Amino acid sequence: MFRHVFTLLTAALATDAGAQTSLPCAPTPAYLAVPPPVVVVDDLVERTETIEIAGPLETVLDVVNSTELEDAVAESDLPHVVGTRPLTEGAFGMEGTRRLVCLSDGSTVLEQVLVRDRTETAYHFRYVVWNYTTPQADAIDYGVGDFLITATSDTATRLEWSYGFKLKPGNFPGNLGPLGGPLFRLAFLDRAYANMMRATLEGYRASAETSNR
Amino acid at 166: K
pLDDT in tens, 2-55: 343 444 444 455 444 444 443 458 889 999 999 999 999 999 999 999 999 999
As to burial, measured by CB atoms within 10 angstroms (0-12 exposed, 13-18 middle, 19+ buried), residue 170 is exposed
What confidence score (pLDDT) does residue 198 get?
96
| Weakest-pLDDT range from 11-15, 73-77, 198-202 | 11-15
Give Cβ neighbours of residue 162 (< 8 Å, ≥ 6 apart). Answer: 46, 47, 48, 49, 145, 146, 148
The residues that bridge with 45 in the sheet, in sequence order, are 165
Average pLDDT for residues 168-187, to the nearest whole number? 96
Three-state SS at 128: strand
pTM for this entry: 0.89
Higher pLDDT, 1 or 15: 15
Whether 77 contacts 197, CB under 8 Å: no
pLDDT band at residue 91, thresholds of 50, 70 and 90?
confident
